[in-house]
A and B are shown apart, each in its own frame.
Chain A
Amino acid sequence: MQTTLLTNRELKGFIKVADILTCGDRDFPKFSTTDFYKKVDYILEELPKEDFDGIKLLFNVFSFLPSFLISFIVFLTENPFGPSFIKNNLFKINSGLKGIVFTLYYSRLPGEGERIFSLLGWDTKIPGYVGTNKFNELN
């Protein structure tokens, strides 16, 4: 599945900020080298309208900015300051951006996501009978 909720420009901004949050290293992949972005709609479609509109605007702005400036903005959201209106919104932007990016990066998505779990040493298992209770799949 490709994203249908973000424009190409917004997607560009999203991947730029995702690369800053999850930059990877010798072993771990940089966000842009994975295909995690294809799953972003699963998260975006659940957002309330105001949050969805806000995040699209932010991605749009990021698409025009150089990476060092986006890093600076992310740094500001990490260390919020100022009057409560500004501080609260910086906090929310921080959680919103990290929530989307980290959920995709650290959710054992098939392929690279499984490899990331393996690199983290996260080898949980639930052996034995897998339940068939139909309610577990419903929401």
Chain B
Amino acid sequence: MYWSGGAELNNEGTIAFLRPKVVGGGSIVNQALLDRFDSEVLEDWRSRSQIDYLSPSGLLPYYTKAESNINIEEIPAHARNKNAGIFIEGMTKNGFITKPLTRAQKGCNFHEPNDCIECLSGCRLDQKQSMAVTVLPSALSKGAELISSFEVKMIEPHFDGVRIFGLKGKKESLQFKAKKIVLASGAIGNSKLLLQSGFKKFIPAIGDNFYTHPQFMSLGLYKEKIESFKLAFQSFKSQDPQFKKWGFKLENVFAPPNGIAMLIPGFGRRHLDLMKKIPHMACIEVAVRDTNPGKIKLGKNGGLIVEKTLNEEDKKRKLKGMEVIDNIFDSTGAKSIIRGKIGIGLHLMGGCGIGQDDKMSVTTPDFHLHGFKNIHLADSSVFPAAPGINPSLTIMALSIKASENIAKGF
């Protein structure tokens, strides 16, 4: 379900980017967490982009519309698992504030009970409010045609629109002609396509300012069974103002065995002995609001290169978050703690940032490429910086705003 057989690595090999390769993209495999961006984030964005509508009042109608298009719920108390219990107890004991997560879901059959960690591979109950159950059926009913397994390799602007060249499956070349196109293949996908198509010579900022909220999972090992894979997978988050100052947030999460295997250090017998303790593991991750922008590039042979490292500030944020997690585990009786071996990048943002300045940004305030009015962008690639907040809802809100501008052009 992900590009490159599961994950793409940064230039150091220390962060694995999970880039979905499914119709519906991140909305299929994400945890459907929804939060509006606050005034501090939007003020930062406005100052970077010089775009006035990037403010709480400017985005309010779009947040409201995005929220009205989907069903939003909190996880009911009876569906919270022991992993969530440890998180809440540890946070409270250490004097930090938690808050239930708001999710794009509809029921989720928690009365069954339902172990929704399975939903990381797409929701078999069709209750996660992904594109597959919300906007796609709506678009198809209005006459849209969907072509899956089609990778666009190049786009070419023409006087009468845009030519699109790609591969259906592995071999079948297809070409299309369109008056306008909307790129929505995410930070890495959009940047890669624009670089492959030679736009860098017109728009030098393509691929710059890539952010990912690098996430680092720690596992707490307990004497009793925790079974973090049972019931609701994720139900609480940190809501402490101190964390915002420290530049991170914490969430109680878990991963399937192949994911846990990648986090645990070592190999062979030692590794297996730790894997056997999966039922006794709790898990919390620190997601860093990264300050060091990455760069998406193409190598000599056209291969993807993602330069993304932590600077001293980002490392400080990561370590502080891990210290807090250690304290949470210690205060709730963990026997030992394993810090995950590799970082994870799930929130893939930027690379085609929005802004007024065509030297510093890629996408105009009207959501088209600087200098190319028929090529639009509408997804997380237009983010000008890391918000430190789950991006899904703002992607939806900005896309609604983009759609208004795009529709005006017809």
Contact = CB atoms under 8 A, between A and B. Distances in A.
Contacts of B256: 106-107
Interface string A116-139: 110111101111111111011011
Contacts of B5: 43-47, 99-100, 103
Nearest to B23: A138
B272 A126 contact: no
Contacts of B272: 22-25, 28
A103 B6 contact: yes
Nearest to A108: B257
B115 A46 contact: no
Contacts of B117: 124
Nearest to B275: A120
B69 interface: no
Interface string A19-54: 011111100100000000000000111111111000
A101 to B, nearest CB: 9
B342 A135 contact: no
A24 B269 CA distance: 7
Contacts of A117: 257
Interface in B111-131: 112, 114-119, 122-127, 131
B301 A49 contact: yes
Contacts of B7: 95, 99
Contacts of A136: 22, 28, 122-124, 126, 132
A115 interface: no
Interface residues of B, number: 64
Most buried by B among A43, A89, A128: A128
B132 A135 contact: yes
A128 B126 CA distance: 12
Interface residues of A, number: 57
B267 A21 contact: yes
A139 B22 contact: yes
B257 A120 contact: yes
A14 interface: no
Interface of B: 1, 3-7, 9, 11-14, 16, 21-24, 28, 109, 112, 114-119, 122-127, 131-133, 136, 146, 148-149, 225, 227, 229-230, 256-258, 260-262, 265-269, 271-272, 275-276, 278-279, 299, 301, 303-304, 342
Given A50-B301, A139-B148, 13 more contacts: A45-B5, A51-B4, A84-B12, A91-B13, A95-B342, A102-B258, A102-B262, A103-B258, A106-B257, A124-B115, A125-B115, A136-B132, A139-B149
19 contacts: A23-B269, A25-B269, A25-B272, A49-B301, A74-B267, A90-B13, A95-B7, A95-B262, A98-B267, A99-B5, A100-B5, A106-B260, A116-B257, A121-B225, A128-B112, A130-B124, A131-B125, A135-B146, A136-B28
Interface of A: 20-25, 28, 43-51, 71, 74, 78, 84, 87-92, 94-95, 98-100, 102-103, 105-108, 116-117, 119-122, 124-133, 135-136, 138-139
Which 5 A-B pairs have CB atoms at the shortest separation, nearest pair first?
Answer: A91-B13, A131-B126, A135-B132, A46-B5, A92-B13
